[in-house]
Amino acid sequence: MSGSDYIQWFRSAAPYINAFRKKTFVLVLSGEMVRSDLFENLIHDIALCHHLGIKLVIIHGSRSQIDEQLELHQICSRFHHDIRVTEADTMPVILQAINQVRQTIDARLSMGLPNTPMSGSDISVISGNFVTGMPLGIIDGVDMQYSGKVRDINATAIDQLLDQHVILLSNIGYSRSGEIFNLPAEELATEVACALKAEKLIFFNAEFIKNPLTDQFSTQECEAYLQQEKVSSHFAALLQHAIQAVKKNVKRVHIIDDSLNGGLLQELFTREGAGMMVTNLFYEGLRKASIDDIGGILELIQPLEVAGALIKRSREQLELEINFFHVIEKDGMIIACIASIPDFKSSMAEVACVAVHPDYRNSGFGDQMLTAVELEARKSGLKNLFILTTRTSHWFLEKGFNVGSLDFLPEKKRQTYNENRKSRIMIKALN
Ligand SMILES: CC(C)(COP(=O)(O)OP(=O)(O)OC[C@H]1O[C@@H](n2cnc3c(N)ncnc32)[C@H](O)[C@@H]1OP(=O)(O)O)[C@@H](O)C(=O)NCCC(=O)NCCS
């Protein structure tokens, strides 16, 4: 990377750095990841996230280390529905394996040698009795013994510590009766992320939904994918956790390609990402408009027309164009709208009539609508979006639009361009 490429990349990461500061991310590291060649670099990337002000909870699994320890002790595990039956006499061996993983992560996060990415790092890591577990009980007549599930998370205690410390949790929970239960790390992480209302829950996995058009999926799309596609039981469980987390207020769940060196940073700080994201943020209340929405749209846009921010649209014109509109509805009221009018001859769509009700501004609704419209244009094979704007050019600049000229517009639009209004022409390439 040349010096200027590097500067360009660093600048492009700035909005993400600002957005993530003081937000809570829950990360799941499997036992396999901890012993992979990429682990050391992943630790450096986690440390960087911490130093950028992200509040981190790391939850580790230990399956492969437990397997190894049990084999060393010539103990054969029983599994039921892919869950290990954790027997009382094997518990000391299992806990030894779990502790070993936690100490490895602790040790790596404590590094601070000069001439390494950890130089001057000084991270304080805290573990504790934040997770209450309970027995899974007897399933199909099989006593699962010390295999457990989450009963409660002390989110208040974790939250209070997150400003200063990284929280590291092993895949265990302590019961009210003082016993220790072996928990599945992914399930524990999902519960923790929900209890903390985390900004992000992050899994690493080899399998994720690949779609050349988008890496963002709603819970509904994930559910449909699980119905239609054949996926491994592990990935199906991971998607179910992602769906559950998003439905319970975790804003975004990421599944990052675990074979990629730097996958975490690529997913968090670049537009291209390195895996897939599950979120309903872009979809809640957002839908295609219908003829019944015209009254609500008019109510929303008329004050903006009077103020000169939007060009006047008659009810008749709206009726003709209504199929090109998306709206966001909250509590029965249209609080935002956007139109995207395709011109297939020039492979462009005109974005128009972008409006968010003043009470709902600066909450990302404008951004959500634009993202939806972009996705739709991409799916239709269009190459560019354009908009004519008098007062909002900087907002569109921040969304990846560039200032363009009249020559770029479809001919019909060129002919009707109002020279007196002097609208700025903004263009976004969809490649
Ligand atoms: C422009 C508009 C659609 C943005 O909707 P929104 O839901 O508030 O947008 P988002 O929440 O996604 O983005 C908000 C950010 O954009 C900034 N922003 C809003 N209007 C802006 C403008 N005219 N120029 C530059 N930035 C602007 C906000 O300050 C905020 O920045 P911050 O996150 O750093 O605080 C909304 O302000 C609006 O309806 N404006 C009046 C109608 C209009 O001008 N439409 C455009 C016609 S071309």
17 and 73 fall within a common domain: yes
Distance 354 CA to ligand 1 centre (A): 9
Helix axes 39-51, 91-109, angle to 10 degrees: 60
**pLDDT class for 8, splitting at 50, 70, 90?**
confident
- Does the structure show a pLDDT above 90 at 24? yes
Q: Does 324 contact ligand 1 (Cβ within 6 A)?
A: no
Q: Does 359 contact ligand 1 (Cβ within 6 A)?
A: no
Distance 339 CA to ligand 1 centre (A): 16
Structural domain total, the chain: 2
270 and 321 fall within a common domain: no
**pLDDT class for 283, splitting at 50, 70, 90?**
low
Q: Which of 278, 299, 328 is the last residue of a domain?
A: 278
pLDDT per residue as tens digits for the range 294-339: 999 999 999 999 998 899 999 999 999 999 999 999 878 899 999 9
pLDDT score recorded for residue 276: 95
Q: Does 363 contact ligand 1 (Cβ within 6 A)?
A: yes
Distance 395 CA to ligand 1 centre (A): 6
Report the atom number in ligand 1 closest to the C-alpha of 393: 24
Nearest CA to ligand 1 atom 1: 392
Distance 377 CA to ligand 1 centre (A): 21
Beta carbons of 264 and 49 less than 8 angstroms apart: yes
245 and 311 fall within a common domain: no
pLDDT score recorded for residue 280: 85
DSSP class per residue in 156-224: HHHHHHHTT-EEEE-SEEE-TTS-EEE--HHHHHHHHHHHHT-SEEEEEES-----TT-SEE-HHHHHH
Q: What is the CATH number of the domain that holds 302?
A: 3.40.630.30
Arithmetic mean of pLDDT over the chain: 93
Closest CA to 125 of 170, 154, 165, 156: 165
Q: Which of 245, 278, 311 is the last residue of a domain?
A: 278
Q: Does 391 contact ligand 1 (Cβ within 6 A)?
A: yes
Q: Which of 278, 298, 317 is the last residue of a domain?
A: 278
Q: What is the CATH number of the domain that holds 234?
A: 3.40.1160.10
34 and 64 fall within a common domain: yes
347 and 198 fall within a common domain: no
Q: Does 397 contact ligand 1 (Cβ within 6 A)?
A: no
Nearest CA to ligand 1 atom 5: 366
Span of 53-57, 113-117, 134-138, 318-322 with lowest mean pLDDT: 113-117
- CA separation for the pair 188, 211 (Å, rounded): 29
Written as six digits, the tokens of 100 are 């070993």
198 and 216 fall within a common domain: yes
The one-letter code for the residue type at 304 is L
385 and 262 fall within a common domain: no
Q: Does 364 contact ligand 1 (Cβ within 6 A)?
A: yes
Question: Higher pLDDT residue, 51 or 118?
Answer: 51
270 and 332 fall within a common domain: no
294 and 260 fall within a common domain: no
The one-letter code for the residue type at 91 is M
225 and 325 fall within a common domain: no
Closest CA to 346 of 418, 427, 411: 411
pLDDT per residue as tens digits for the range 174-228: 999 999 999 999 999 999 999 999 999 999 999 999 887 778 898 989 999 999 9
- Does the structure show a pLDDT above 70 at 282? no
Report the atom number in ligand 1 closest to the C-alpha of 370: 12
- CA separation for the pair 374, 382 (Å, rounded): 9
Q: What residues make up the domain containing 138?
A: 3-278
- H/E element, 296: helix 294-306
What is the distance of C-alpha 58 from the center of its chain? 16
